[in-house]
Amino acid sequence: MWTKQHMNDINNTINKREEQLSLPVVEEAKLNIKNRRYLGSKYKMLEFIWEVVKENCSDVETVADIFGGTGVVADRFRTEGKKILINDILYSNYLSYWTWFSDEKVDYKKIEKMINEFNAVEVTEDNYMSIHFGDTYFTMENARKIGFIRQRIEELNDSLGFREKAILITSLLYAMDKAANTVGHYDAYRRKLDSTKQIKLLVPEYKDTLNTGNIIFQEDANQLVRVIKADLVYIDTPYNSRQYGDAYHLLENVAEWKKPTVTGVAKKMIDRLQIKSDYCTAKAPTAFADLISHIDSIYILVSFNNMAQKGVGRSNAKISAEEIIETLGTRGDVKTFDLAFNAFTTGKTKIDDHKEILYLCKVNRGIQNDGTKGKIL
Ligand SMILES: C[S@@+](CC[C@H](N)C(=O)[O-])C[C@H]1O[C@@H](n2cnc3c(N)ncnc32)[C@H](O)[C@@H]1O
């Protein structure tokens, strides 16, 4: 039996739903440093890395992350109040560090407005991106939009500070990653265009109060260590022959925006010499020895992944665990920490062939500061 009261209750419920639906959309998530796919990202190991440093290192105020990649490791130290030096050979990463780690003043309202305008734009004309990358890594529509937005950022150059420009480009690069028809890098795209998501730029989440005194570089790490000094130097080199400049050529291309000729099925820039890393070649052990011998710090912390054996294949490691320990041994005593062991002592899970390892060296041997070139810190 339905009574008037039932009808009133039902009406109230329906009205409530309608009210909720018509509420303004809850503010969209902001862009966060970790919102990207990156080969070898240590995002899942951040607590392990921090615990090892917290338990075993004292007097660490400055941390140099000299193969920074996404920058998530430096970011973890930053949230502990450490001063950061961050570096990567890739320009796309360098721009993202300006977004996350710089304290250069930014007109946030202006940035938000521009990002909203970029998202609203509809592009029907072809451009560099759609001609070369339409219906490959991106839908034609997304490729046109990426090309248009990147060109617009360039045209706005004179009205933007360097960090403001870096923020817009970073937001675009992260949005590209979300919409890309790939498994997370640009060595290849899927034959079937299965990511048709519309590209959408997000405004980054800023933590500028933590950024005082941070320093950002785009250098070959081996050159950089000759001129910097930090309490702890964190090292996370590429560990096999896969060049990051090849895997992320498209992000470099858009970051630099020189519109180079591209080649092959993967449409890579022809000239990638500047971003080739010795750590992906047989020179890795020599480069590592040179790097370690020039570090000026109290601690050196090295990430290593023992999944691949040293060998000649593409996925094989270019440097062995023994070589790392021996080289670090020239600078001080070395302790080893093993994530697999720490995380799986219950015996429930077996991941024998996949261990993330940290080597921590307390520096007490070798040249600490040869007093040559003026050190930056
Ligand atoms: C394993 S990744 C680092 C990942 C990073 N720890 C993270 O969590 O995102 C290695 C990085 O080293 C950079 N790289 C390679 N050779 C370099 C060199 N000689 N100097 C500076 N950076 C280099 C690559 O571009 C890549 O971003």
Q: How far apart are CA 298 and CA 230, in angstroms?
A: 8
Q: How confident is the model at residue 265 (pLDDT cuts 50, 70, 90)?
A: confident
CA of 187 to the centre of ligand 1 (A): 17
Contact predicate 96/173, CB 8 Å: yes
What distance in Å separates the CA atoms of residue 267 and residue 253, rounded to the nearest whole number? Answer: 11
Which has more confidence, 279 or 26?
Answer: 279
Kindly give the distance from the C-alpha atom of residue 109 to the centroid of ligand 1, in angstroms, as a whole number: 33
As a whole number, the mean pLDDT across the chain is 88
CB of 41 sitting under 6 A from ligand 1 = yes
**What tokens does 191 get?**
């034959």
pLDDT for residue 52 is more than 50 = yes
Task: Specify the pLDDT at position 335.
Answer: 97
> Could you give all domains of the chain from N- to C-terminal order, each with its CATH number?
40-90+208-241+281-377 (3.40.50.150), 107-205+244-274 (no CATH)
For ligand 1, say whether the CB of 98 is within 6 Å of any of its atoms: no
Q: How far apart, in whole angstroms, are the C-alpha atoms of residue 171 and residue 100? A: 11
Closest ligand 1 atom to Cα of 278: 19
> What single letter denotes the amino acid at residue 371?
G
Name the burial class of residue 129, with classes exposed (0-12), middle (13-18) and buried (19+) by CB atoms within 10 angstroms of its CB.
buried
Task: Give the model's confidence band at 346: pLDDT under 50 very low, under 70 low, under 90 confident, else very high.
Answer: very low
Mean pLDDT value of segment 110-123 = 97
In angstroms, what is the span from residue 192 Cα to ligand 1's centroid? Answer: 31
